[in-house]
Every structure is written in C-alpha cells, then in structure tokens.
Amino acid sequence: MPFELAPYAADETRSRGRRHDEGGSGHRSQYQRDRDRIIHSAAFRRLEYKTQVFVNHEGDLFRTRLTHSVEVAQIARTIARALRLHEDLCEAVSLAHDLGHTPFGHAGQDALNECMKPYGGFEHNAQSLRVVDELEDKYAEFRGLNLMFETREGILKHCSKARAAQLGDVAERFLTNRQPTLEAQLANRADEIAYNNHDIDDGLRARLLTIEQLRGVELFRRHHDEVLARYGTITPKQQRHETIRRIINTLVTDLLAHTRRTLEQARVETLDDVRARSLPLVGYSAEVSAQSNELKRFLMEHLYRHHQVYRMMVKARRVIQALFDAFINDAKLLPPDFHAEACRLDALEGLNGRARVVADYIAGMTDRYALDEYERLFDPRRLR
C-alpha cells in the first residue's frame, strides 16, 4: 500500500486467511491476488453480456454487469484511499459482488428464486460466493478461487438467516448481528452510488427518462441548476454528464465526511470495534440519505417499472421459467458436465441436488446465451 492503513482497516496479516493455505506471493498482497483471480475468472468475463437494466441486445452503449462492476470498483477505491482503508480489498469485493447474478438482471433473479423456492430459494449474493468458492474450476489443489476470508465475507452483503446457517463462518455475522469490514461496507455503498447514477445516464440516453421528470428530484435539480447557471447553453449530452458527475461528487463527499464523524464519535480504533457494531459505520448524513432515497424511489417508479423495461422483463421471466422447468424435468437436456453433476447430486440429495445444478447453469448464462438456449430447446427449426 502507498500509505499507512488506518488501525481499523482490514489487515491481511491478521486475516482468517484462505480455506486452503497457499503461502505468500512475494510481489503481491493477498487481496491483490484475490482481485487478480476475480478478473481472470470465467464468471467475471460473462458479466460483459449480462443485463444491468437493459437486456444486452438492446444496445451496445448501455451498462452491463461488467461495466457496472468496474464503476463500483473505481468509486470504492477513491473513497478507500481517502479513509486509509485497504484499496485492494475494496476493489476485489466490488469486482466480485455480481458474479452470481442471473441473466436479465433482477427479473432473472426473481424468476430463478421463484423456481427454486421448493428447493431452498436463490439469492444472487449467496450465488456469487458459491461461484468463487465452488463453481470456478481452474486450480489443481482446490475448488473455486480460494479467496481470503474478508473478500468472501464482503461478497456476501445480503443473506437470509436460513442460508447463513448453512454457510458457516463467512455468514456468521448475519446470525449474530455483527458487521463486516469497513471495506465491505464501502463496496456496498459504492455499488449504490454507481447504479443510481449510471441508471440516470442510461435512462436518459434510452429516452425512457426526461430531464423534466428528473428535475422533480431534489438532488438532480440542484446540480442541474448549477450546470445551467455556469455553462448556459450546452449540449444535452454535456448537461447530462456534468449533472451526474456533480451528483456523484456530492454523494462521495458526504459519505466521506459523515463516515469520518461516525468513526470518531463511535471511538472506533480496531477492526474488532467495526465488527462489534450492530449497524454499518459507512453511510451518509441524514440529509443526503433522504435525497439519495428520493432518487432511488424515482428510478424505481419511472425507469425500472417503465412499460418498455417491464415488457422485456416479463419476457425474460418466461425464458428463465421455461428453461428451469425443462431442465428440472429432464436432466438429459443439460450439457454433459452439468448432466453428470446433476445425476451425482440427484443420487445423494434427490431433486434438491438436481435443482441446485440447474440453478448454477442458468445463473451462469449470459443474456444472449439464455435466449439461444431457449430457442435450441423450444424451436423445432433449431437442431443444435
């Protein structure tokens, strides 16, 4: 690290380490190794063709899960440096947080969860952990990527208590009401900052949102007024970018200031102090939190529930449902390696085991692969 870490930052020398000991790396920190393994994983590459809001084929200029993850990592590293937290850990968590996400965004996730309800449900954060712990298959000595405990803990930012009880120490905090590292808390906030603001950008460029609508949101209106007052007549693209960059700056600046005050007032001195808290320490002031929540409500109503987005998402849910039903009813339709694993788990666990393999297969699909697989299964004109 180029500077001295804060005493409450994650420190790999006091980490719980990896599930399989590998020793040191020499020229890289352990969290750097985690980041590099994530970037080189197949699951990370597939994010390029997974929906953020718009289905992949709807346009090349819209965000994908991959570009979203890169933007989250950039915001997280900036704030981590200012707070003297471990940048490499923040980046690793940021880049990995969506590895288990389904095709077709939240519509795909909701559909797969509905399909999996009789078999334990589906949670994309738990699936992201499953990807790095089990499904990536590259190393001779262990399954998964064998990441550091703090990286794995940060990836699992949400988890039901039922699932937490099955996952062991990495999910223990959900049962004991404790907190993860500040780096994990920060990556979670950076995720929120990134998606709120790039969804404004994508929504405007797709013409699903208008400037006039957004001016009903205080956070947007204030910064849009600043842009108009300073620059006068500029292009719509410039207006959009100048306004959004100011919103991001406001959120980041407030997050830094409020988090510093919170750490000081709570007299946090060590990572153990961070973990002992019942509520996160990284957050906004009450004023900016209210403004951020207003923006989220606006996007939910006007973008995520926009009739064009909704119609595409209904189609996506039907695709996921049809694929799941086909595979759960006839495992021979799965590719050979998934079929073999489904048969193995079917013999050990019954239909629950087969269902988990089907969920792994579907969750790993990109948008276009899922659409192609749907055609291969249900279009008689497609022979393969």
- Of 97-101, 104-108, 243-247, 362-366, the range with the lowest mean pLDDT is 104-108
Task: Provide the pLDDT confidence category of residue 176 given band limits of 50, 70 and 90.
Answer: very high
Which pLDDT value is given to residue 56?
A: 45
State the average pLDDT over residues 338-356.
93
Residues 65-88 pLDDT 10s = 899 999 999 999 999 999 999 999
CA distance 125 to 135: 14
**Residue 283 structure tokens:** 């957050």
Which pLDDT value is given to residue 159?
A: 84
Percent of the chain with pLDDT over 90: 74
CA distance 186 to 180: 10
Nearest 10 degrees: Cα torsion 17, 23, 27, 29: 0
Which pLDDT value is given to residue 1?
A: 46
CA distance 228 to 220: 12
Task: Provide the pLDDT confidence category of residue 322 given band limits of 50, 70 and 90.
Answer: very high
State phi, psi for 183 to the nearest 5 degrees: -60, -40
State the average pLDDT over residues 125-150.
94
CATH number of 29-308: 1.10.3210.10
51: helix, strand or coil: strand
Straight-line distance from the first to the last Cα atom of the chain, in angstroms, rounded to the nearest whole number: 51
> Most distant CA pair in the chain: distance in Å?
70
Q: Where are the domains of the chain?
A: 29-308, 313-378
Which pLDDT value is given to residue 310?
A: 85
Which pLDDT value is given to residue 312?
A: 83
Task: Provide the pLDDT confidence category of residue 53 given band limits of 50, 70 and 90.
Answer: low
Residue 305 pLDDT greater than 90, yes or no: no
Task: Provide the pLDDT confidence category of residue 383 given band limits of 50, 70 and 90.
Answer: low
From the number of C-beta atoms within 10 Å of its C-beta (0-12, 13-18, 19+), residue 59 rates as exposed
Which pLDDT value is given to residue 118?
A: 95
Residues 198 and 83: beta-carbon distance below 8 Å: no
Task: Provide the pLDDT confidence category of residue 162 given band limits of 50, 70 and 90.
Answer: confident
State the average pLDDT over residues 359-370.
95
Residues 366 and 103: beta-carbon distance below 8 Å: yes
State the average pLDDT over residues 35-52.
92
Task: Provide the pLDDT confidence category of residue 59 given band limits of 50, 70 and 90.
Answer: very low
